[in-house]
Amino acid sequence: MTVRFDGRVAIVTGAGGGLGRQHALGLAARGAKVVINDLGGTLDGNGGTPSAALVEEIRAAGGEAIASGASVTDLAAVQTMIGEAMQRWGRIDILVNNAGILRDKSFTKMDVADFRLVMDVHLMGAVHCCKAVWDIMRTQNYGRIVMTTSSSGLYGNFGQANYGAAKMALVGLMQTLSIEGAKNDIRVNCLAPTAATRMTENLMPEAVLKLLEPGAVTPGLLALVAEDAPTRAILCAGAGSFERAYVTLTEGIFVGQPSDAVDQVVERFGAISDRTAESVPESGSAQGTLEVGRAMRTLA
Ligand code: NAI
C-alpha cells in the first residue's frame, strides 16, 4: 500500500521549520497541495516574518504550495488564509495543527500572562483553524484533522504547566470533534511527537538529539491524515518508534451511598486503581452510563 494525497489540499500551521516543515514536505511529496502557514518568529512567540522558502522548495520539486503568514491566534487572518486556499484549490481536506511556542518556567515563577499566551497559540490557534475548515469539511463529507499534543500534556513535565495544560486541552478538543465529525467522515486525531527542533535543543543532550530527526515523526502524521486514517487516536512518535496512548478507565468498585462511603473510597483505593479490566469509553456520556448501569444492577 502506498499512501498518496493526490488531489488533496492540506494546511500545515507552523510549517516554517521543525516538525511542520517535515510534515509539509511529506504531504507535498505524496501529491498534496499545501498551505505553508507560519508567522515566523522566535521560540517564545515574539516577532517574525513569514517564510516563503519552503514554498519555493516544494515548487522546485514539482509540487504545489502557497505561503500564509497568518498567526493562528488571529481568527480573521486564519479565515483569510482558508479563503485563499479555497479560492485557489476549491477544497480543504487536511488540517495539521502544528504551530506552537514555549514559555517554560516552574509554576511558582510562571506569569499568568504567559500561561494565557501559550493557551492562546496552542489551543485557541487550533480552535480557530478547526472552526474555519469545519463547515467546508462537513460539506465535502471528508476531512482529516490532527492536533499536535505532547507527552508534556499527557504525562506532565517539570516547568511546563502552561504548555502541558494547552496540549492536553487539544486532546479534549480531538475527543469531541472526532465524535461530531464522524457522520461526515471527518477524522480527528492527536500526534504526540518527540523530535530535535529548536523547541527541544536546550532540553536534551547532543547524542539524544541526533536520534530524534523530525522527519522520523512525519510518517506518523501522514498515517493520521491518510484516506484510511483512524479517528480519535493519540499517536506518539519519535526516533522511529510509534506508540498509542489512551485515556483509560479502570473497572473500579461500587460503594453505593452509605454514610461511610469516604472511608471505603480511602480504604479501597487500590481496588479502584486496579488496571486489570481497564477500558476506553467511547464517549464521556458512555462513562457516566457505565456508573448508572452498575448502580441499577447492584441495587435491583
Ligand atoms: P518549532 O518551534 O520549530 O515549530 C513551531 C512553529 O510554529 C515555528 O515555526 C513557529 O514560527 C510557528 N508558530 C508559532 N506561533 C505561531 C502562530 N501564532 N501562528 C503560526 N505559526 C506559529 O518547534 P517544533 O518542535 O517543530 O514544534 C511543532 C509542534 O510540535 C508544536 O506544536 C510543539 O508544541 C509540538 N511538539 C514538539 C515536540 C518536540 O519534541 N519537538 C514535543 C511535543 C510536541
Say if ligand 1 is within 6 A of residue 198 CB. yes
For residue 199 and ligand 1, the question of a CB distance below 6 A is answered with yes
Separation between Cα atoms, residue 113 and residue 118, nearest integer Å: 9
Q: Any idea which architecture 9-245 has in CATH?
A: 3-Layer(aba) Sandwich (3.40)
- pLDDT for residue 1 is more than 70: no
Ligand 1 near 41 CB (within 6 A): yes
Q: Hey, where are the domains in the chain? A: 9-245, 261-299
Segment 94-110 shows an average pLDDT of 97
What is the Å distance from ligand 1's center to 203 Cα?
A: 15
Cβ of 100 closer than 6 Å to ligand 1, yes or no, is yes
pLDDT at residue 162 is higher than 90: yes
Provide the annotated active-site residues: 163
For residue 258, give the amino acid letter.
P
Q: pLDDT at position 89, please?
A: 98
Q: Is residue 152 predicted with pLDDT exceeding 60?
A: yes
The number of the ligand 1 atom at minimal distance from the alpha carbon of 102 is 34
Q: β-strands 143-148, 9-12: how paired?
A: unpaired
pLDDT digits (tens, 9 = 90+) for 203-212: 788 889 989 9
Mean pLDDT for the stretch of residues 268-277 = 98
Q: Measured from the CB, is residue 197 less than 6 Å from ligand 1?
A: yes
Give the C-alpha separation, 162 to 118, whole Å.
6
So what's the pLDDT on residue 19?
Answer: 97
Q: What's the pLDDT at 93?
A: 99
- pLDDT tens by residue, 48-90: 555 688 999 999 999 999 999 999 999 999 999 999 999 999 9
Of the chain, the percentage scoring pLDDT greater than 90 comes to 89
- Ranking 97-101, 111-115, 194-198, 199-203 by mean pLDDT, the lowest is 199-203
Backbone φ and ψ for 48, nearest 5 degrees, come out as: 105, 160
Q: Whose CA is nearest to atom 29 of ligand 1?
A: 98
| Percent helix, strand and coil across the chain, each to the nearest 5 | 45, 15, 40
Q: Residue 194 CA: which ligand 1 atom is closest?
A: 40
Look at residue 53 in the predicted model and tell me its pLDDT.
Answer: 87
pLDDT at 79: 98
Q: For residue 50, what pLDDT is reported?
A: 55
Q: Nearest 5°: CA angle at 217, between 18 and 281?
A: 120
pLDDT range class, residue 199, cuts 50, 70, 90: confident
Q: Model confidence at 115, in pLDDT bands (50, 70, 90)?
A: very high
Q: What average pLDDT score do residues 124-148 get?
A: 98
Please give the biggest Cα pair distance in the chain: 73
pLDDT at site 300:
87
Average pLDDT over residues 238-261: 98
pLDDT of residue 200: 84
- By most ligand atoms within 8 Å of CB, the mutation choice from 148, 199, 211 for ligand 1 is 199
Block residue for cell numbers 479490566: 277
